[in-house]
Amino acid sequence: MSNITRRRALGVAAAGAAGAAAGLALAGSSVADAPRPAAPAAGPAPFDEVYQGRRITGGPAHGGGHHGGHHGGGYSVTIDGAELHVMQNADGTWISVINHYEPVATPKALARAAVRELQGAPLVPLTLT
């Protein structure tokens, strides 16, 4: 395990997440020019705000690239542009790599909890050496 990359660590469950991603990617958007979901919204709404001086965003992950291995069901969260690894639990609650053992109701609450926990520190890509 000593030389794994973050992507490889994430890639294990990428196939499992992909199915859920398809369902969530269209859902919950409130952006005017975004396509409206045909089915009732199944995912959390996007957000983009400044919280305690830091920009937090959340929304459907773009296909492919480094988002391919996400476990947020295709949902991506950033803090000052850096990606926060998030995961959705079976009951719909959310956790992140910063607050891993304390589920919260929404990705926005999760991003805010991470900002409080970070106390101004930058989020960095994992240094898996």
Partner 1 sequence: MTVRKNQATLSADEKRRFVNALLELKRSGRYDTFVTTHNAFIMSDTDNGDRVGHRSPSFLPWHRRFLIEFEQALQSVDPTVNLPYWDWTADRTSRSSLWAPDFLGGTGRARDGQVLDGPFARSGNRWTITVRVDGRDYLRRDLGAGGRQLPTRAEVDSVLAMETYDTAPWNSSSDGFRNHLEGWRGVNLHNRVHVWVGGQMGTGVSPNDPVFWLHHAFVDKLWADWQARHPRSTYLPAAGTANVVDLRDTMRPWNDVTPADMLDHTRHYTFDTAA
Binding residues for partner 1, per CB under 8 A? 1-2, 4, 9-13, 15-17, 20, 71, 85, 87-91, 97-103, 117-119, 121-124, 126-129
Nearest approach in angstroms of CB 16 to partner 1 is 3
User: Is 32 or 127 the residue whose CB approaches partner 1 more closely?
Assistant: 127
Q: How far apart are CA 70 and CA 96, in angstroms?
A: 11
Helix (H) or strand (E) holding 22: helix 14-25
Nearest approach in angstroms of CB 31 to partner 1 is 27
User: Is 15 or 32 the residue whose CB approaches partner 1 more closely?
Assistant: 15
Give the pair of three-digit tokens for residue 17.
């997440």
User: Is 26 or 114 the residue whose CB approaches partner 1 more closely?
Assistant: 114
Nearest approach in angstroms of CB 51 to partner 1 is 16
Nearest approach in angstroms of CB 95 to partner 1 is 9
Contacts 24+ apart (CB under 8 A), 56-64: 56/108, 56/111, 56/112, 56/115, 57/111, 58/107, 58/108, 58/111, 59/29, 60/24, 60/25, 60/26, 60/29, 61/21, 61/25, 63/25
Q: How far apart are CA 126 and CA 62, in angstroms?
A: 21
User: Is 22 or 126 the residue whose CB approaches partner 1 more closely?
Assistant: 126
